[in-house]
A and B are shown apart, each in its own frame.
Chain A
Amino acid sequence: AQKITQTQPGMFVQEKEAVTLDCTYDTSDQSYGLFWYKQPSSGEMIFLIYQGSYDEQNATEGRYSLNFQKARKSANLVISASQLGDSAMYFCAMREGRTNFGNEKLTFGTGTRLTIIP
């Protein structure tokens, strides 16, 4: 079974609108972390936001917020007031387990290509 599922291969959004990128995950661990990364056309991977499984509040970083619904095992990225520079691939990733050896790895989803339309 896929551990990280991103069901939207591509999305087109009008500039200045808000956009939600979906991510669902599968784990039996109680302790885990969820990450979102951005990959612009230049290719580098840029860390955007993190949510810990025990965090009570949804994470926010500027225009990025993470809509964390633990019971549904979803961790959707919300970008408010989208800009042309937001056009990129977006990857959801998960780290499972506590700080024990073997739990340093990230599992990535297949990504969503977001295109912002002027």
Chain B
Amino acid sequence: NAGVTQTPKFRVLKTGQSMTLLCAQDMNHEYMYWYRQDPGMGLRLIHYSVGEGTTAKGEVPDGYNVSRLKKQNFLLGLESAAPSQTSVYFCASSYSLLREAPPHEQFFGPGTRLTVL
């Protein structure tokens, strides 16, 4: 099993450009998440999904959009990148809270380092 994979690993954008980050998981998890990690701020949730076709906003959703057309994939889009979106982006996935016993830990991908100039 590959677990959670993220594409690309690194990316440099100019202000105003758009891009899509792809997350894929092969563990048949229902839930998927996108976080950003900035120095001194821990991980902050951007958007998440509890199933195919459903998404919800997290703590810092502005400037991002997501889609989950297939259960195994979760896409994060930046329509018009800004320097404030320079960060490391992590995708994670977990089993449904209704399906399995605790802990329902989240499994993380390796991260994408994004720089917006």
Contacts from A to B (Cβ < 8 Å): 4, 9, 33, 35, 37, 43-45, 47, 50, 52, 91, 93, 95, 99, 101-111
Contacts and interface: CB of A to CB of B under 8 A. Distances in A.
B31 to A, nearest CB: 5
A104 B45 CA distance: 11
Contacts of B94: 104
A110 B41 contact: yes
A110 B42 CA distance: 4
A18 B103 CA distance: 25
A102 B97 CA distance: 11
B97 A104 contact: yes
Given A44-B108, A106-B106, A99 B42 contact: no
Contacts of A105: 33, 45, 48, 58
B88 to A, nearest CB: 7
A108 B58 contact: no
B98 A110 contact: no
A47 B107 contact: yes
B90 interface: yes
Contacts of A110: 40-42
B43 interface: yes
Contact of B42 (A44, A52, A95, A109): A109
A24 to B, nearest CB: 14
B105 interface: yes
A47 B90 CA distance: 14
Interface string B46-68: 00101000001010000000000
Nearest to B50: A104
